[in-house]
Amino acid sequence: MRRIALVSILVAAGVVGCRERTVGTSAAPSLDSAPLPAPSTPPRSDLSIYVLSMTLTDQNGEKVGLDVFRGKPVFVGMFYGTCPSACPMLISTIKQAMSKLDAATAAEVRVLLVSFDPVRDTPEALRAIVTRRELDPRWKLASAPEDQVRDLAALLGVQYRRLPDGNFSHTSSIVLLNRAGAIDTRLDDTAQPVNSLVVRARAISVTN
């Protein structure tokens, strides 16, 4: 019995972790119907994340909503300014994707990076990153209150937590939103090729 239980748990843990894009909703607290995922419902096209009420403070100190770039294709990511390497890599990956866009698409696309760290990522700190990384006006870096950060991370499928030393452990995803704010495409590993983001950004750009 104990062996069966352990095997079931290991299978469950493995499946939910390694195949996380396909997990579903049918987990059960019993071992006879072990907590294995089932296919989730197909993605709907009307799922705009702009229904989330947020107050973002950007690098210029302006207060804007999550839908500040409504009507544009938007690359959204989450980061924090004092992050040693994953977040610089996130920015580099988005820059790389931007550089591969054709001129018409590049003029349309916007970037919104929201910080996990509302305490340290003040407008001044965010502005310093914009300067250091030579980010053009299409980029907006912003902070938000802690509870709103949690909501946004939940909507974007980003896992994170604050560590005792004030740093954050987090997954790095780049999410492409369509003009209405629905998730079109995501890149969950910033070391992977950005082609899918480039192709889809162009596809959104040519549709109205």
Partner 1 sequence: MRAVASVLAVLAVSSLAWGVRGQSLPLAREAAMVRVGPGTYRPLYPSSAAEAEVRVKAFLLDRLPVTNGDFVAFVRARPEWQRDRVPGVFADEGYLSHWAAPAELGANVDERQPVVRVSWFAAKAYCSARQARLPAEAEWELAASASRTRADGRDDRAWREEILAWYSRPNPQRLPLVGSTPANYWGVQDLHGLVWEWVLDFNSAMLSTDARRSGDKEGLTFCGGGAINATDKGNYPSFMRIAFRSSLRAAYTTHNLGFRCAGDDREVVR
Q: Interface with partner 1 includes 191 (CB under 8 A)?
A: yes
| One of 27, 64, 128, 203 touching partner 1 (CB under 8 A) | 27
Residue number, 2 or 134, with CB nearest to partner 1: 2
DSSP assignment letter at 23:
-
Fill in the per-residue mask, 31 to 60: x = in contact with partner 1 (CB under 8 A), - = not in contact.
xxx-x-x--xx--x-xxxx-xx--------
Q: Which stretch binds partner 1 (CB under 8 A): 68-76, 99-107, 133-141, 184-192?
A: 184-192
Residue 144: count of CB within 10 angstroms of its CB: 20
Question: Could you tell me the smallest distance in angstroms from the CB atom of residue 134 to partner 1?
Answer: 22
Best CA proximity match to 201, nearest among 94, 87, 84, 61: 94
For residues 67 and 204, what is the distance between their CA atoms, to the nearest angstrom? 17
- Cβ atoms of 198 and 101 closer than 8 Å: yes
Fill in the per-residue mask, 86 to 125: x = in contact with partner 1 (CB under 8 A), - = not in contact.
x--x------------------------------------
Burial class (CB in 10 A: 0-12, 13-18, 19+), 44: exposed
Question: Could you tell me the smallest distance in angstroms from the CB atom of residue 170 to partner 1?
Answer: 5
Residue number, 18 or 103, with CB nearest to partner 1: 18
The runs of H, that is alpha helices, within the chain are: 2-18, 86-99, 103-108, 123-132, 146-156, 195-206
Task: Kindly identify the residues of this chain, within the stretch 126-155, that bind partner 1 according to CB under 8 A.
Answer: 150-151, 153-155
Q: Which stretch binds partner 1 (CB under 8 A): 19-27, 65-73, 111-119, 132-140?
A: 19-27
> Helix 86-99 to helix 195-206 angle, to the nearest 10 degrees?
50
- The number of residues in the chain equals 208
Q: Interface with partner 1 includes 13 (CB under 8 A)?
A: yes
For residues 32 and 28, what is the distance between their CA atoms, to the nearest angstrom? 9
7 phi/psi in degrees, rounded to 5: -60, -45
The kind and range of the H/E element at 110 are strand 110-115
Q: Interface with partner 1 includes 161 (CB under 8 A)?
A: yes
Q: Which residues here bind partner 1, judged by CB under 8 A?
A: 1-2, 5-6, 9-10, 12-14, 16-18, 20, 23, 25-33, 35, 37, 40-41, 44, 46-49, 51-52, 83-86, 89, 150-151, 153-155, 157-161, 163-165, 169-172, 189-191
